[in-house]
């Protein structure tokens, strides 16, 4: 089945395509959507729905009726009362400044012994009639004191996975996909696929 994934993040796109091998995942670039979506929600679910509805309305204007997948995810740190959470990508102020986000996180945790954290993802599958289902996934670990491994996916090089016994920055894509928050949200989404969908 063709599904549009409402993201321009190449790492997320690659991860979702790898997890959902039985579906044809179409990107925003494929359907001609350009520009930013204003994520004004205060929860992962709210932001995922904002993205999904925006792209669904865009598709309707083009005469397309594909379902839309939208993810909102972030890093939640116990000692910081769940921060950066939904603000993970713009924790230090500018959206997508990975190094600034990492440095702010390390500074915030410098004087605490509690480094427990989890990544959370909420994925919505949104249909042209305005109904949707969603899945919620988490993966647990702790924040390291320095960067270890690949730095391209923001906090991955600081997140030591309880499951993998290494940072996500050290993990291969296959290793990460088996335990990631996004994978678990996708599995939860699929379990909910036979349930009554939630209306707007």
Catalytic residues: 72
CA angle 184, 190, 192 (to 5 degrees): 105
Q: How far is Cα 130 from Cα 128, in angstroms, rounded to an integer? A: 5
**Coil, strand or helix at 194:** helix
Q: Which position has the token pair 């709210």?
A: 46
C-beta pairs of 55-62 under 8 Å, 24+ apart in sequence: 55/4, 55/6, 55/28, 55/31, 55/126, 56/126, 56/127, 56/128, 56/130, 58/31, 58/33, 59/4, 59/31, 59/128, 60/128, 62/31, 62/32
* Lookup result for tokens 């959206």: 95
Copy the structure tokens of residue 175. 């290793």
């Amino acid at each position: 089945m063709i599904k549009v994934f409402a993201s321009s993040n190449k790492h997320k796109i690659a991860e979702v395509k790898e997890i959902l091998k039985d579906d044809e995942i179409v990107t925003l670039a494929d359907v001609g959507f350009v520009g930013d979506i204003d994520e004004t929600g205060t929860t992962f679910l709210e932001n995922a729905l904002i993205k999904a509805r925006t792209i669904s309305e865009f598709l309707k204007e083009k005469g397309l009726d594909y379902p839309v997948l939208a993810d909102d995810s972030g890093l939640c740190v116990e000692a910081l009362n769940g921060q950066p959470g939904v603000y993970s990508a713009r924790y230090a102020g500018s959206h997508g400044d990975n190094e600034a986000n990492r440095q702010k996180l390390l500074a915030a945790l410098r004087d605490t012994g509690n480094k427990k954290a989890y990544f959370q993802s909420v994925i919505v599958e949104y249909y042209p009639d305005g109904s949707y289902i969603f899945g919620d996934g988490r993966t647990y670990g702790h924040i390291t004191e320095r960067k270890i491994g690949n730095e391209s996916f923001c906090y991955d090089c600081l997140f030591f996975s309880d499951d993998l016994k290494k940072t996500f920055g050290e993990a291969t894509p296959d290793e990460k996909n088996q335990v990631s928050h996004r994978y678990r949200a996708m599995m939860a989404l699929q379990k909910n696929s036979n349930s009554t969908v939630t209306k707007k």
